[in-house]
Structure 1
Amino acid sequence: MNSGLVSTITQPRQPHVVVYPFPFQSHVNTMLRLAELLCLAGLRITFVISEYNHTRLARNADTHPRLSASYGKDFVYKVVQDGIDGDATRTEETIRTVHSKYRDDVRSLFQELNEALPVTCIVADGYMTFSIDTAEELGIPLIVFRLIGPRCFWVYYNIPRMIEAGELPIMGEDGMERLVQSVPGMEGIVRGRDLPSFCRVTDISDPALQTIITQTIQTPRAQALVFNTFEKLDASVLAHVQKHCHKIYTVGPLHKHLESRLTRISSERGQVPFNSFWHVDRSCLDWLDKQPPRSVIYVSFGSVTMMTREQLMEFWHGLANSRERFLWVIRPESVAGYEQGSEPVELKRAIEERGYMVGWAPQEEVLEHNAVGAFLTHNGWNSTLESIAAGVPMLCWPYFADQQLNSRVVSEEWKIGLDMKDVCDREVVQRMVQDLMVDWKEEFLKSSREMAIAAKEAVSEGGSSWESLDSLIEDIKSM
């Protein structure tokens, strides 16, 4: 018999993984990194991306040509519509629109992809577990990737318990300050005020809250659950989640994990680029090069947060009055009623003397810079993990979704920052910036550096996240 024919027949088919993110920058960016890690392991990837996001990435980052050059046909995009018109702001109000659009189209999408090239498994965003039904009908294994942290997932999972116990809806200021007792393992930490923003409703039939409940309780039906975290950071709550979702992979922090794997292949490829939807102004790195070590507070509220001009002015006065150096990202069109150049004279003077402002920054590089001593953040999960991995303490001003919970855990459980939620006052900003940058600086830096060491160990060869990703890859191959 022809030996070449035998080789062809017995060679296993290359696994084909469809990666299916919710179309927000933080979701797309993180799932692109997981997709690249899978591709590095020899899996073929089809990455589902909205036309809007595909265009923005092409305009503002080298993501498309870099992935094409590195992986060729093993990494391809499937471009779809997300149901939002043009440049409409991607905020909480748009979530249900996107959700409805994707739910309607998921059957035809999965069928088309499976017919073009049989799909080994689907890695779906945890906010789209409605896709489990279609995957089951088509006989395709589906893995859920939650882009929030395990603690937030666990709180979401226990919302029915909180409703049954009368802890939701939150009733008045007393309810905001009362400790929540219906989330096993988190008693004594979380107040009503610290619950995710979706829980701040007066009516438990609220559509956003019900969507969160519905999508979260479907998770155990998936083949497995993936988190962008590491064991040491979230071990206590992962033990509770494990009772309901038996196969869990902790593979983060993903940006450092990808860097670690790329460096192992070639030291020249170790730097992980940022997949940005906005133009990245790298001039801020030159400015940071001229600042003393740990002297700058980096200010950025992420890719979704919106604020009023009044809130902007409170932060600005607080930063100016603190007398600390600052690097501030003000995302285009993120402040209602604000025009650049309209600032009071004293604030302009503060920028000239000790500040720098950009529309968007290479955040991971900024946080790793020796001049940065703290991070004033909205506490999105990606930003929180990036700050942890860089060993930078946080001043937390959460906006929505999981951010309220993250800020509480940062300050009260991990002890690597201060929580300023629900407050926007220049005197409070000034005081907390000085606490973080002067009065308690060494204490916060010490605890943050210890956490950064643990994160680095997790994504190094033999670490918990490294081994968890290896297990995920082998499980996908066995499908």
Structure 2
Amino acid sequence: MKNFHVLVIPYPAQGHVIPLMEASRCFTTNGLKVTFVNTDFTHKQVINSCSGPGIDGPSDLLQMVSIPDGMEPCDNRNDFGKLTKTMFQFMPTKLEELLNDISKNDDEKITCIVADYCMGWVAKVARKMGIRLAVFCPSSTAVLALTMSVQKLMDDKVLNCKGIPLKDQMIQLSTSMPFMNPANFLWVCVGDSTTNQIIFDFLILGGMEAAEAADHIICNSTMDLEPGVFSMFPKMLPIGPLLATNKSTRQVGHFWNEDSTCLTWLDQQLIRSVIYVAFGSITIFNQQQFEELALALEDTKMPFLWVVRPGTSGHNIDYVYPNGYMDRIGTRGKMVSWAPQQEVLNHPAIACFMSHCGWNSTMEGVSNGVPFLCWPYFADQFFNKTYICDIWKTGVGLNKDVAGIVTRGEIKSKVEQLLNNNILKENALNLKENVMDCVEVGNSSDKNLNKFIDWVKEGNDKVGASETYI
């Protein structure tokens, strides 16, 4: 009997691997076999962190493999321009070799590929080898909608042919969608002009082509969160929120080991008393900003759990706490290098979430009814802040001063403003109820997941009658 076999491939970044791992769990739960393809570098990180109570790694239906990304071991993979360009040049051949190896066993042949839309080159491999393609959106679907609208924006003279904004004004993709600031488009604010151009040429234009070529686009979102996008692009199927399925199953796909001691610490705190502070896997502060944040958390007089990542590859930063800080904070503050975030946000002690507004963090906060203090760092995070503060009204934004610093006074003031605003907190709880209802049996995300599973299995039947697929 042939397996229903899906090959899944994410962009090699933390915020892309985690939701596709959770999607893969959904696939295996529904009887699909998944081969999950990371780069060699990312694969080692994920496997090393896939240990501990409640973390189930590879299984009979989920196998994790890797292919090289084309970079040298010593290269800086936080150089997104170089990483992206090298992958697009090097990985297609390696993926073809992997697919050919898999196809040697007739019962293991791939039914379809599920590719991160930021890996647009996969579409060409799928087309060449006659394999059906689905695209996965790990960001808000509004960001993918923007990617799919690039040609129209160029035709309308909003962008030039290199993706550079021609007008300093907010835009709307449709009247049912929020306004977007072109200065914050993904390919405009990632790095220097060379990096931005690479991102536009490879990720954006490649992602647009892949989304157009795909039979389905599945998304870590819900109909309630982004109704305007789904009415504009009915091809998109929201199957979110993609979360660890129950309390005995931990989230997988992390690049670093989680420090679970923070959960024991949270157990000792009062209900809704703790500020949770976490800025994802990429955000970098300078020493001055780090000190302002540290002193602000001290000034709030509230308990806080703060994820302070160790020195990040490619960034020679060793943060120094203010003089005497640890003695003054005592047990009121808990610092960890990486946290089991879903479990943290689900803990009754959490009062609010100070976040960079990455989409995974946004979905996890929303799914647990936690109000946000929004501090976006780059790319799509600015638009996610728009959703949180202006559309859903479940958080407040932190603003920089003229020197580009979010001051301790600003942080302390916004913490007080958020925690004294019962409307925002009520909105967060109501949104949680609506979002979590989507994954219940028979509701929108559940139906969309089943629609996708059925499509995969129908394809498997076609494989048996045709040599079109490998």
Task: Write the mapping of 1:365-384 to structure 2, written as runs, cut at 5 A.
Answer: 365-384=343-362
Aligned partners of 2:12 and 2:219: how far apart in 1? 18
Alignment partner of 2:257: what SS? coil
Deviates more, 1:285-294 or 1:314-323: 314-323
Equivalent in 420, 423, 426 of residue 398 of structure 2: 420
2:230 maps to 1:238: yes
Equivalent in 207, 224, 229 of residue 221 of structure 2: 229
Aligned residue in 2 for 1:29: 18
Q: Can you list the C-alpha shifts for 1:265-300, whole angstroms capped at 9, x where unaligned?
A: xxxx85334432212111111111111111111111
1:434 shift after superposition: 1.9
Aligned residue in 1 for 2:367: 389
Counterpart AA for 1:101: F
Aligned partners of 1:59 and 1:44: how far apart in 2? 22
Seen in structure 2, the aligned counterparts of structure 1 residues 405 and 87 have a Cα distance that, compared at 3 Å, is farther
Seen in structure 2, the aligned counterparts of structure 1 residues 452 and 467 have a Cα distance that, compared at 3 Å, is same
Aligned residue in 2 for 1:139: 130
Equivalent in 259, 273, 282 of residue 304 of structure 1: 282
Contact 1:315 1:424 in 2 (8 A): no
Aligned residue in 1 for 2:86: 97
Equivalent in 23, 28, 38 of residue 39 of structure 1: 28
Task: Write the mapping of 1:264-279 to structure 2, written as runs, cut at 5 A.
Answer: 270-279=248-257
User: Larger helix proportion, structure 1 or 2?
Assistant: 1
Aligned residue-pair number: 443
> With structure 1 as the length reference, what TM-score do the two structures score?
0.85
Seen in structure 2, the aligned counterparts of structure 1 residues 416 and 334 have a Cα distance that, compared at 3 Å, is farther
1:429 shift after superposition: 1.8
> With structure 2 as the length reference, what TM-score do the two structures score?
0.86
Contact 1:300 1:330 in 2 (8 A): yes
1:153 shift after superposition: 0.9
Q: Can you list the C-alpha shifts for 1:55-78, whole angstroms capped at 9, x where unaligned?
A: 22332222898344xx42x32222
Flag structure 1 segments of 5+ consecutive residues without an equivalent. 1-11, 260-268
Seen in structure 2, the aligned counterparts of structure 1 residues 108 and 30 have a Cα distance that, compared at 3 Å, is same
1:303 shift after superposition: 1.4
Seen in structure 2, the aligned counterparts of structure 1 residues 370 and 67 have a Cα distance that, compared at 3 Å, is same
Contact 1:393 1:444 in 2 (8 A): yes
Contact 2:187 2:196 in 1 (8 A): no
Q: Can you list the C-alpha shifts for 1:169-216, whole angstroms capped at 9, x where unaligned?
A: 347xx93xx3224x2236663234553353678799822222233123
Flag structure 2 segments of 5+ consecutive residues without an equivalent. 460-470
Seen in structure 2, the aligned counterparts of structure 1 residues 38 and 337 have a Cα distance that, compared at 3 Å, is closer
Coordinate RMSD, CA, aligned: 2.7
Equivalent in 399, 402, 414 of residue 432 of structure 1: 414
Seen in structure 2, the aligned counterparts of structure 1 residues 187 and 149 have a Cα distance that, compared at 3 Å, is closer
1:412 shift after superposition: 0.7
1:371 shift after superposition: 0.7
2:273 maps to 1:288: no
Task: Write the mapping of 1:356-371 to structure 2, written as runs, cut at 5 A.
Answer: 356-371=334-349
Deviates more, 1:352-361 or 1:93-102: 93-102
Task: Write the mapping of 1:322-337 to structure 2, written as runs, cut at 5 A.
Answer: 322-334=300-312
Aligned residue in 1 for 2:428: 448
Contact 1:199 1:209 in 2 (8 A): no
Q: Percent identity?
A: 27
Aligned residue in 2 for 1:66: 56
1:350 shift after superposition: 4.8
Counterpart AA for 1:449: L
2:113 maps to 1:125: no
Q: Can you list the C-alpha shifts for 1:88-142, whole angstroms capped at 9, x where unaligned?
A: 5543343333343324433333333333431111111111122222212222101
Contact 1:298 1:375 in 2 (8 A): yes
Q: Can you list the C-alpha shifts for 1:371-416, whole angstroms capped at 9, x where unaligned?
A: 1111111111111100000111111112223212111111111111
Aligned partners of 1:80 and 1:192: how far apart in 2? 35
Which gives a bigger RCO, structure 1 or 2 (Cα 8 Å, sep 6+)? 2
Q: Can you list the C-alpha shifts for 1:408-432, whole angstroms capped at 9, x where unaligned?
A: 1111111111223665321222221
Task: Write the mapping of 1:197-216 to structure 2, written as runs, cut at 5 A.
Answer: 198=188, 206-216=197-207
1:85 shift after superposition: 3.7
Aligned residue in 2 for 1:250: 238
Aligned partners of 1:298 and 1:88: how far apart in 2? 33
Aligned partners of 1:301 and 1:42: how far apart in 2? 35
Alignment partner of 1:62: what SS? coil
